[in-house]
Amino acid sequence: NHCYTSPIYREKTAAIDRLLAQRYGRNPNVILWHISNEFGGECHCQLCQAAFRNWLKKKYNNSLDALNHAWWSAFWSHTVTDWEQIHSPVQNGEPDEIMTGLYLDWRNFVTYQTTDFMKMEIEAIRSAGSDIPVTTNMMWTPQQIDYHYLKDHIDVVSWDAYPSWHEEDQIRCAVDAAFNHNYFRSLKHKPFLLMESTPSNTNWQAVSKLKRPGMHRLASLQAVAHGSDSVQYFQWRKGRGGSEKFHGAVIDHNGKASGRVFEDVKQVGISLEKLDAVCGTKTDAKVAILYDHKSSWAIANASGFINADKRYVKTCLQHYKSFWKRGVDVDVIETGEDLSHYSLVVMPMLYSLDQAQIDRIEQYVAQGGTAVATYATGYVNETDLCYLGGFPGNRLKDVFGLTADEIDTLYPADKNTVLWNGQTYDVIDYCELITPTTAESLGYYGADFYKGMPALLKNSYRSGMAYYIGCRDTGELTDKLYATLLQELKIKTYDLPEGVTIATREQYLFVQNFNDHPVTVTLAGTYRNVETGEVYDDTA
């Protein structure tokens, strides 16, 4: 229902922005501009088609030969001989994914056009004389916009969090929410704002479950624990009509400032007031997980592997859980960032990597870092062309000391195992057939024609260490590996009951229990409860 390219839409939007900025831009009660709402969607009109072609001309220096090579368009006779032949990758209302290079460029164009539209709105506000900071509210990963481009043009990151609490696996939901909070905190490496949450239920999830007593406070303080400096709501009062008239709100249709949900909100407000000193504090994570939108898009649209669902995000969450359960703070960053700050960098399924990203990873390990990569790493470049000479691409073969020759995809009923240090771990979905060059083999496949071939390897590369997991396990193998590495790297961990986690913001420790029953946690040292003032001492 919008077109970010339309000059009329841009003109009218900018006019509204300027009028708002002129009227409220110097009002001391206005502390932040909220630019648009949940940027997303795409338009396929003729204006956008023309803008897409112009964007491609700039990217490929007006060379159709360069574009055809990047898209490998000769395959199935898709060679482009005129710019006007190019259209967005949609046929009959459905994505046309035959040329992944075209699809990836379209996704990058949509990100560019959305960012450009947002910049236009910000400029309209600034032209009216307002220097109040700006934000735009982002949404749960994965998205069809790469937020790493939007974040460079806003002053503070904000996002809308709607976890599906009280599902069958409550711990999985808590891990998922924590991962996303960490992702948005890591965009600018400073506190973010929780722009939207619900004090009760949503109306648009598959099951509109009410938050059980205590869940709203737990979820709100989870956001604070992972870097939020706010807890805000959609919505204040339930609307009488429309599609979200049954979406949770602070004030229900009865119009009363009372009741169970209102009291829950009140209690969160009391807690936040007591936690005011936490605002502005940061998280110093020594572990990073590389989460990359472009890899997510590329592997999701690759024909091969498990075509129905490669489970890229779920794989990232599985690796993240090993740190979450031990109270280890993690930054969730993209591959273009500086890695030198981290003791351990984890790279699940980084299928698509350009040369600059490869160089950054190589430099990190060469200078003393410890990296962990998995199957399907560095298979293709930024336009989905396979790297020649074996996987992972280019110098990553030297970094990890191996070549991934083939990858076997397992049916759901297939079984395999990995034997490591006398223990057997179950393997599902993927098994890479690996030839070590300089890497030391740690674990070996237990079945099939590649029984005895290496599945878990480590390689000493210059001053650093690189580990490679050639298969997808059910969680036990990766968990054991990370437990070992955390100990070797002397990264602080906690011995916590199942379902309990710890997050840190400078001197503040957040201990949270996501079970539906009480548990006992023992922490060595002396701590003061910020809310109650109670002192806990276990220095013996």
Catalytically annotated residues: 38, 196
Element (H, E) at 486: helix 476-488
Place of tokens 């949940």: 38
Tokens encoding 207: 């099951």
Rounded distance between C-alpha atoms, residue 398 and residue 50, angstroms: 43
Query: Which is it for strands 94-95 and 134-135: parallel, antiparallel or unpaired?
Result: unpaired
Residue 272: what are its φ and ψ, rounded to 5°? -65, -35
Instruction: Respond yes or no on whether the N-terminal peptide bond of residue 235 is cis (omega within 30° of 0).
Output: yes
Task: Give 3-state DSSP helix, strand, coil % of the chain, rounded to 5.
Answer: 35, 20, 45
Rounded distance between C-alpha atoms, residue 414 and residue 445, angstroms: 14
CB 136 within 8 A of CB 193: no
Amino acid at site 264: D
- Please provide the size of the chain in residues: 540
**Residue 258, Cβ neighbours under 10 Å: how many?**
11
What string of DSSP letters covers 374-419?
Answer: ESS-S-B-TTSPBPSSSBS-TTHHHHHTEEEEEEEEPPTT--EEEE
* Cβ within 8 Å of residue 188, ≥6 positions away: 151, 156, 157
The C-alpha angle 509, 167, 236, rounded to 5 degrees, equals: 70
Tokens encoding 214: 């205590």
CB 468 within 8 A of CB 263: no
CA-to-CA dists, residue 441 to 358, 370, 438, 454, 491, angstroms: 23, 17, 10, 6, 25
Residues pairing with 202 in the sheet: none
Query: Which is it for strands 500-505 and 508-513: parallel, antiparallel or unpaired?
Result: antiparallel
Place of tokens 């904000």: 158
Rounded distance between C-alpha atoms, residue 500 and residue 87, angstroms: 50
CB 174 within 8 A of CB 501: yes
Residue 210 DSSP label:
P
CB 428 within 8 A of CB 458: no
Element (H, E) at 485: helix 476-488
Tokens encoding 510: 């957040």
Rounded distance between C-alpha atoms, residue 49 and residue 47, angstroms: 5
Instruction: Respond yes or no on whether the N-terminal peptide bond of residue 89 is cis (omega within 30° of 0).
Output: no
Minimal CA–CA distance to 496: which of 509, 481, 506?
509
